[in-house]
Amino acid sequence: MPRRTMIEDVGYFGGVFRCTHGLQQKFGSSRVFDAPISESGIVGAAVGMAAYGLRPCVEIQFADYMYPAYDQIVSEAARLRYRSNGQFTAPLVVRMPTGGGIFGGQTHSQSPEALFTHVAGLKTVVPSNPYDAKGLLIAAIEDNDPVIFLEPKRLYNGPFDGHHDRPVTPWARHPQGEVPDGHYTVPLGKAAIRRDGSAVTVLAYGTMVFVAEAAAAETGVDAEIIDLRTLLPYDLETIVASVNKTGRCVIVHEATLTSGFGAELSALVQENCFYHLEAPVTRVAGWDTPYPHAQEWDYFPGPARVGRALKAVMEA
């Protein structure tokens, strides 16, 4: 396997969320090192490294800080293969903590996935648990196209289900917290069914998978919960099979509603499952406001809001 390189604010200290703790000691400072605070510089340099033949894996400290690098991601990494007719490629991974739930306010809480799924040439991944995170990350690094790897920061410590007033079970005591040693991959473009059900399909990813599970348990609605894992390319087959079975669909994401990835999912369900639908496709999402600070739990689509949507589609 080709040698990999990692850069960003991750070297000596191990990152603000400690994801890269110990890596520099293990692999040396020519493979794991700190970078100047310049997101466009980090991703731009990574594009050059990838064009050289490395597989850089860079970290942007928060997805909210991605915007200075957006030109390098959209105009450069995503299009390099296409515009050079395959002479140069950009097999890089851009990791970034995403989403809210940590009282991070508007600059540490955003969910910008739709800004990536809108771009031809990118793949966008959002894992929901440690097992998938490792398998998807290895698959992303081995992929020969650029991959945006959004890590829901509220899940770093455990499967947060939106009940912010209750303690979170640490991953160590959760079955999906089991991470095998050694090499394995979770394929990109394949969703996972987290809960089998017959009444309604819930399409979710990241933290919202656990919120949806809590909502289903609390309302007693027999929901089939699909964890998309990869947003682009999406697993249309799994989505369509489930919605055709249940006849109902609720889409949940933390990102703002309008032009969010849920809009794409809703259109796909309508185009592919129209004659099986018993109720309008419903979206539960972040409100179309900047991510607030004090009002975090009024903003965050928690189990109560998702539960109301489940009951509403069942009554439609």
Window 113-132: contact mask with another protein (x via CB under 8 A):
-------xx-x---------
134 scored as a contact of another protein (CB under 8 A)? no
Question: Looking only at residues 169 through 198 of this chain, which bind another protein when binding is defined by CB under 8 A?
Answer: 189
The catalytic site residues sit at 108
Binding segment for another protein among 134-142, 143-151, 179-187, 243-251 (CB under 8 A)?
A: 143-151
Window 64-103: contact mask with another protein (x via CB under 8 A):
----x--xx--xx--xxxxxxxxxxx--------------
136 scored as a contact of another protein (CB under 8 A)? no
Window 35-54: contact mask with another protein (x via CB under 8 A):
xx-x-xx--xxxxxx-xxxx
Token pair of 188 as six digits: 């990109």
Phi-psi region of 103 (alpha: psi -120 to 50; beta: other; left: phi over 0): left
Q: How far is the CB of 262 from another protein (least distance, A)?
A: 17
CA dihedral 287, 292, 293, 299 (to 10 degrees): -10
Question: Looking only at residues 254 through 313 of this chain, which bind another protein when binding is defined by CB under 8 A?
Answer: none
CB neighbours of residue 221 within 10 Å: 21
Binding segment for another protein among 19-27, 131-139, 203-211, 229-237 (CB under 8 A)?
A: 229-237
31 scored as a contact of another protein (CB under 8 A)? yes
Binds another protein (CB under 8 A): choice among 170, 220, 233, 280? 233
Distances (CA, A) of 57 to 112, 137, 173, 205, 253: 19, 10, 29, 22, 26
Please give the size of the binding site for another protein, defined by CB under 8 A: 47
Which residues of the chain form contacts with another protein (CB under 8 A)? 3, 5, 30-31, 35-36, 38, 40-41, 44-49, 51-54, 56, 68, 71-72, 75-76, 79-89, 120-121, 123, 143-145, 189, 232-234, 236
